[in-house]
Amino acid sequence: MLNRVTDTPISLGALGPFREVFLTPRDDQSDVDIAIAYPFGERHNPYGEGLAHYLEHLVWQSVRSAGADGGRHSNAWTSPQATLYWLSRAPDAMKDTIERLAASAAPLGVDEAYAVQERDIVQREFDLWRLEDPMDAAYVEMAGRLFGGSQYARTTLGSKSSISRFTLEAARKLHDETHHLSSAKLHLRGPVAERDVVRAIEAIDSWAAPRAEALSETVPLWPAAPEDVVNRTVSGLSRPLVVKQKSFLPPPDFTWTEVFAARNILVNLALSTKAGGLARPLRYDAFLAASFDLGLDPLGTAGLVFWINAEPDKNVSLNDLNDALDKELARLLGEPNETTFYEIRDRELSSLDGILDPLKANDQRLFASLISGTAYVTLSDLRAAMQNMTFARFQTFTHHFLKPRSAVSQLISVS
Amino acid sequence: MIATRRAVTCLILFFGLAACNDDTNRVISEHTSPAGHVFQLMPITERGVTDITVSAAWATDWLNDPNNNPWVPNLATEMMISGGTAELSPADVLELLEDKNAYGDIGAAADLIYAEVEFPNNHRDTVVPVLADLFQRPVFASDWFDRIKGQRRDAAAVEDTAIAFDMWEASRYAIFGKSAQAEFTNGRNVEMLDAASLDELRVWHQESFSHAPVALVVTGAVNAEDAGEIVDALLPPPGSAPAETFDAVSLQLPEKMIYLHRPEAEKSLIGFIGTLPDTRDGKDGVDLVIANLFAGGADSPLFDAIRTNLGATYGMSVELVNYSRAQRGVVIAGEIDTEKMPEARDAVLAAYSSFRTEPDLDSLTDITQRIADSIRQEMVFVNSSARIIRELLLDERDPQDYQTLPDAIAQLDVEAVQTRLVSAFPDAVDLAIFAAGPDPSAFPDACIITTTEQALAC
């Protein structure tokens, strides 16, 4: 195998019909994992909620069963922002594997009977992941309030009733509008060389042609809305809960690399027991929250959502905990602790330096970005952004999160 | 000649592990610390490796005594790891460990107590004394204890739990009876939880670590002398008394299918449990291959039977379960379309039976190679390596088997798999069947229950 030494996946640029092809050379595995990712997910779907995921099931059936072998090591994922199909086979089957994955853009080859059966399977998948989650309805309602009924409020699985209304005809329409090879990215990982990938793609003489105009890859923004506080009662929970979510546009003049660097510092600072963190005032010094967790997650590349879940400690009311969360979050974001900022930043840098296999870590970052439709930031870029992050710049970042585009808090009692 | 051979070995390792800084890299050897702890050491001198892992296990007989409260092991381990030290509050300990990129973990099983710590070598002098305090001199403070008990009580008292949770709880009552092991594993007995006291935690702590560990491993950026010092600093001196062991009863699988009837449930589940031999026979790697052959991914016999052909489920899984080291089982389970439950039960049993006696092993090389690849990738890590060696010791195997583990899996042949299938995996008729859902009418011969404890009478 003749590959340059690299600690990041290699971009081969636009190749064949694909928008971009990536190769992660790995000699520590015997097979080649190949994925094709389309930049369309549930947020792009103009039809019934969850149809993008149902479509993925139907397409995956074609991909995995197209040949005599290879179906065993296959999978597919749908996210709000993207759809991805994956096959893992021997290196000498690389050309055939790419062809099979590219056939995900060919007209759907399933019949009506199969489509009906697979709709039932999607119902079982809903049963598995969501039916008995006591918080499911609360989160669905929360997304509705946070995103004002826009495409951003949609769940990838849909609902029991929306699933029951899926049709093969609608799935075909969505397929034609989203599965275009010209927008797809191909990702290969395994014991193969760049030139073999290029040759394999060049040896394929026929590709699926588009049958309809593609949907827009950009999803219109959700409406702005003031904070909404809702009381709710849920059964099946062990403890009452305060759940807060706030949406934001990306901070202006920040690259996504900077956003991820500052986000990592902010989240770790918030969870920290250090001065300025939330752990001591909420959980250790005062027994206000028995436990809490938080995060700041990208919405594709359109914005971010901050969330915090906290369980009140004994004899603490939901209102008191909610007030304490508001007060501590305002302090965290408005006046972050400078000393702690540098300590956390240095700890994060040290943690990045301790990654034993940067190529594997970068490969996982790329794969995650393809699935989630978020920006791909390499470890070295992330490290540089973190290293260059001054306290003043970090403050600009945290102050941005004092003004949400929309916000909702749920005070959840246990029935 | 010797020098040449060493150079060739180094070249191979260089491509595989970017290593070969010296002759001790990944060489496993047994040592005795100054205080008398016997441990296995595997230095890792590869570029970029700075961490040290200490992984240990102690035998425990706590659940043998019916007077012992089965909540105590889990409460005590949580208090040990999160309760702070005499000098440092819980928050201070957390902050220090995070700052130094270190962690400590302690957990209890029915038959063993596991502990693991990891820290970078350059922070050893700061971190080890704190971890030693957590481990040897835990602060069993009443306010922290009340908080932990409160959280566990609320979780145990939830009535409206998922039916999968309840179905498996019923299975444990059916298998273990109203025993300390069932209460320990289920963690739902609120009265016992309320009765647990700090004094009992102290007794458990004193009894549990008064004898030598049954497995003690040090891996990473460390030499033998330093490893001995670390072990002696972390652990109390090894007691001379032999460790008492857990009386593991054989799994008593119910002959009748047990159906947990939940009229309001909107879905159904089915699970099958069969017994497997103790891992000390050294064949659990073959079991892993077999589980993957039967149920790993699309096109597997189980997937074909239950999803492709019957359309009854999103997917079913096969797991190898250790209730304790000597109490092993294979578990097949999944969510099933309520209307297809009887067909699903029959399809799983037929697929399993056919696979057990006439397996299609066309995928064997593919599966063994993938599992071997994944073990090799895991062995790169300092803590994973320590765990693998610890498990070999607990299975009374030669720790040197660590070096050949992936190759041994990759080299498994058809005969080895076929032999293991018929010698170790139970016949389909010997699988216990558990189900839960809204409609038991399709199973007139099943033992129908409405609460998990009713499984005791099935």
Is the pLDDT at B233 greater than 90? The verdict is: yes
Tally C-beta pairs within 8 A across A and B.
Answer: 117
User: How high does pLDDT run on average in chain A?
Assistant: 95
> d(Cα B225, Cα B83) in Å, to the nearest integer?
31
> Which tens digits make up the pLDDT trace of A18-54?
999 999 999 999 999 999 999 999 999 999 999 999 9
Is residue B428 scored above 60 in pLDDT? yes
Tell which of B149, B299, B303, B310 to mutate to test the A interface (max A CBs under 10 Å): B299
Instruction: Give the nearest chain B residue to A355 (CA atoms).
Output: B48
Region A60-85: mean pLDDT is: 84
Name the residue with higher pLDDT: A409 or B244.
A409
In B, residues 346-385, which contact A (CB 8 Å cutoff)?
363, 366, 369-370, 373, 376-377, 380-381
Instruction: Tell me the chain B residues in contact with residue A291 when contact means C-beta distances shorter than 8 Å.
Output: 151
Nearest to A28 among B90, B299, B377 (CB): B377
- Structure token digits, residue A197: 């990938």
What is residue A61's predicted lDDT score, i.e. its pLDDT? Answer: 85
The mean pLDDT of chain B is 92
- Residue B306 pLDDT greater than 60, yes or no: yes
**Is pLDDT of B16 > 80?**
no
Measured CA to CA, the distance from residue A381 to residue A259 in angstroms comes to 12
Q: Could you report the predicted ipTM of this complex, rounded to two decimals?
A: 0.90
Q: What digits encode the pLDDT tens for the residues A368-385? A: 999 999 999 999 999 999
pLDDT greater than 80 at residue A362: yes
What's the confidence (pLDDT) of residue A204?
97
Can you give the pLDDT at residue B8?
Answer: 36
Share of residues in chain B with pLDDT > 70 (%): 95
What percent of chain B has a predicted confidence (pLDDT) above 90? 89
Q: Is the pLDDT of residue A67 over 70?
A: no
- State the average pLDDT over residues B320-337: 95
Q: Do A121 and B314 touch (CB under 8 A)?
A: yes
Instruction: Please say if the pLDDT value at position A258 is more than 90.
Output: yes
pLDDT at res. A6: 84
| pLDDT tens figures, B436-457 | 999 999 999 999 999 999 999 9
Q: Which of A361, A97, A108, A322 is nearest to A231 (CA)?
A: A322
CB spacing of B296 vs A350 below 8 angstroms: no
Identify the pLDDT of residue A4.
62
Residue to mutate among B14, B93, B118, B151, with most A CBs inside 10 A, is B151
Residue A218's contacts (CB-CB under 8 Å, 6 or more residues apart) are: none
Model confidence over B30-43: pLDDT tens digits? 999 999 999 999 99
Strand partners, A246: A306, A407
Can you give the pLDDT at residue B141?
94
Q: Does residue B4 have a pLDDT over 60?
A: no
Chain B residues in contact with A354 (beta carbon < 8 A)? 48, 50-51, 101, 120
Mean pLDDT, residues A250-262: 98
Least confident of A65-74, A146-155, A234-243, A305-314: A65-74
| Residue A162 near residue A50, CB atoms below 8 Å | yes
The pLDDT of residue A415 is 85
Confidence of residue A3 (pLDDT cuts 50, 70, 90): low
Interface of B with A in 142-181 (CB under 8 A): 143, 146-147, 150-151, 154-155, 157-158, 160-164
Side-chain half-sphere CA neighbours of A358 within 13 A: 17
Q: For residue B13, is pLDDT > 70?
A: no
Q: What is the pLDDT of residue B18?
A: 43
Q: Which residues of A touch B307 (CB under 8 A)?
A: 121
Q: Does B337 touch chain A (CB under 8 A)?
A: yes
Question: How close A354 gets to chain B, by Cα (Å)?
Answer: 7
Task: For residue A4, give the 3-state DSSP assignment.
Answer: coil
Q: Which helix (H) or strand (E) holds A164?
A: helix A160-164
Q: Indicate the pTM of the whole model.
A: 0.92
Looking at residue A391, its amino acid is: F
Q: Using CA atoms, how far apart are residues B240 and A282, in angstroms rounded to an integer?
A: 45
- Residue B130: pLDDT above 60? yes
Which of B15, B162, B376 is facing A132, going by the closest CB pair? B162
pLDDT of residue A236: 87
Cβ neighbours for A336, distance < 8 A, ≥ 6 positions apart: A266, A269, A276, A391, A394, A395, A398
What mean pLDDT comes out for the span A118-129? 94
Residue A278 confidence (pLDDT) = 98
Name the pLDDT band for B381 (thresholds 50, 70, 90). very high
Determine, for residues B90 and A290 on separate chains, whether the beta-carbon distance falls below 8 Å. no
Closest chain A C-alpha to B238 CA, distance in angstroms: 34
pLDDT-derived band at B20 (thresholds 50, 70, 90) equals very low
Q: Is the pLDDT of residue B5 over 60?
A: no
The answer on pLDDT for B357 being more than 50 is yes
